[in-house]
Amino acid sequence: MYIILIGYLYVIVMFAAGTGDVIKGGLLFFFLGFLPAWLLFWLKRKGQIKRTEDRAEPEDQAGPRAENE
């Protein structure tokens, strides 16, 4: 997955460099490169956090029951 992202960002950087204007290139990279990459990482991280919490729930619930018994 990371190799595809690196390739995508490379293409966007080359595309932004070819615009000829620094401001246009910066905006193009921000909207077509940075924002999609950030969204991808945010969604993946959100899923990882949810899976970690789901795995931790049974351990947290098993602890108090074992102490009460």
Helix axes 35-68, 2-17, angle to 10 degrees: 150
Least confident segment among 14-18, 43-47, 50-54, 57-61: 57-61
Amino acid 68: pLDDT: 59
Measured between alpha carbons, how far is 49 from 36 in angstroms, rounded to an integer? 20
Q: What is the pLDDT of residues 1-48, one digit of tens each?
A: 789 889 999 999 999 999 989 999 999 999 999 999 999 889 888 988
Amino acid 18: pLDDT: 93
pTM across the whole model = 0.64
Are 37 and 5 a contacting pair, CB within 8 Å? yes
Amino acid 1: pLDDT: 72
